[in-house]
Structure 1
């Protein structure tokens, strides 16, 4: 009996089919394909051990029948004699002890990496649905509120949640622009224009201090502590393990570093590929400014 170990896929079918259990196989999983056999079968297992005890073998040939790659063949040599039975155990694996230890360590590291990625992915999924729920819920309340000042505060939450969703879409520049331009500029301008030009809005907020969306101090403290814990947890997770998308950028050599001139690339994109959407957005911003100035204008007494 002879085994061509290069064509073996370590499927263990021969050991299961052997009626006298003379075949002993130990396989080590590989994180990726390690090659192909002569018939094109993909090899994903390392043969750490492939021993056949010829003292037990009854030469039935069942192992050669079930072998999918036909790496086990029967030979004309049947007469084997030895004073030690251990000499009749033939090993066909070509792996050394150091290689076996190395492959086992690689598989252990791969499993640990998969568990860490699964944990990070679950956390990313939770944050994604949290931002999505916050954006949708705030948007629904926004269109149902009659108080303009409170609607502006909800609009702030919607824009902030959308910035978080942009981060999940790997649109960092859009997310920062969302916060700096819309949240920090346009929305604050509209909020001050409304609150400083119409005293009835402030009076309405003071009169309805115990109604919807107004909270006692202890609830505000609970929310503040909750956001603080969330920020600390996010910072700790970031320092403990690098996100998957950053690792992929490092592997593909597309990682953005502080010395890169991204402004030039963004400017070229805006003025070439995205010139029409850029101009349309500028028109919308102008319309928003004109509308804000018109709504904040004081009415003349008739």
Structure 2
């Protein structure tokens, strides 16, 4: 059996689909299943068992001998969450319990970290672990993810294989439920559909033009492909960036979404909310040489390829992956 936490969410449900495509049908999905808005993400998938996130550790105590791998993708992912108790509960302490269970039961583990741990990017975006303690995330969500990365590296007891994945601005199918936390691509699509234009934040840095803020936009199918690779690789434990390695602008996202829809561009700007100024990342760009060095050689979707497939293959028809 393969366990996926956060399985009803965006990346988790896409991973379940990828596992099913490879005939892994004994998938145990873990989540807070009272959140009805995510129910369509798992519809039609081959699932062995549903386990509520609060019951996972009791379930593992009984079933650990049958568990081949754990993907821990569940988290409190709201980057505007400022309740440290909530973030510690789900992003730090719950993750520690999963880590310790994997050590006790000798289960390999892949867990989701985030590029938000890099903060302003002033120290670059290298996933070399020597630089990790120096990073300074810009918000409590980033701090919670960073705290677990640091804790994991400091442990004497480790799963026989583990990997923490710093995910860079993931977009793609099955994120319909995410609301304000959805990707820039989904927001652009919805704005074009509803009003025929896209609104972007103005830059509040004079050296950066409006709309030229850059992120490493990563298609979700690349993320789950890396997860699938690591499930079989099971060597070279550590923390890895998962991104395209090429930062692109929000302007490019908007223009590519218009193009995928065959609509003439109409882009407007609003001021970035002052509350976001100190926590706003103007650039993220994954250094991917470490992941490549362990044998992952598949090309990542370009922004053009990913947006075209997402818009035309999923969003226009309201499809799920």
What TM-score, normalized to structure 1?
Answer: 0.22
Q: Which has the higher strand share?
A: 2
Q: Which structure is higher in RCO with an 8 Å CA cutoff and minimum separation 6?
A: 2
